[in-house]
Structure 1
Amino acid sequence: MFFFKKKTAGKDTADTPLKRKAKSMPMTKKVQFCYIKPDELNMLLNGDINSVLTLEPVNYYAEKNRYWLCVFYYTEDYSEIIMRFELYENDRKTTATDYYEINKELYSRILLKFGQRV
């Protein structure tokens, strides 16, 4: 009866102040982006956070095998927004980036790519 246990239980254990802050925020939103290599994404995010606007939105139903899920954690007044990317392959999370703090303007510009408004 132990076959229900997760095999990747010890994976995401690094506890940072930004991670604790993100997990304590009351609201979340998720959007999907087309796949690029994880090293390229980390280079973009660490270089200039605004470069996230160069990523292409994904049609989840057309490209289901590999995509980046961008998770936003935010407060109700959007004064604090934290973003994280998680790579999904065949509907399973395989890797994730660090947590990044962004401002409301960048958040609204990202959502506009998906036809959504703040």
Structure 2
Amino acid sequence: MREEFALQYADRRAKERGYEDYRIVYREFMIPPMGVLKFQANNEIWLVTYISWGLIVKSDYGRYDNWYTQGIAENAHEHGDRIEIINTRKYQRTIRFLQVILKTKDDGSKA
């Protein structure tokens, strides 16, 4: 998903979920050879903007990989809740996300 589209998509998805306020954070992870990164992303939407060949992203929203999946899969670039990134290759790989943090009135943040 290109960054420009991801920004528009983030705004639409936040509003669809009933949130008027949200914060955008750019994230980049380097996944070591044959490594796995797991994290929680509750009340957030993570949009894949770049993924190296050989990485797989799995979450409660679905699965994305850029070498087994054929064609466009619904929500392939959108992830949330429990996220797992798997490097299937012998070399370090990179993945970039646009993290959309959905804000509520009582989340303690300054808005």
TM-score range, shorter chain: under 0.3
Q: Which has the higher contact order (CA 8 A, sep 6+)?
A: 2
**Normalized against structure 2, the TM-score is what?**
0.26
Structure with higher Rg: it is: 1
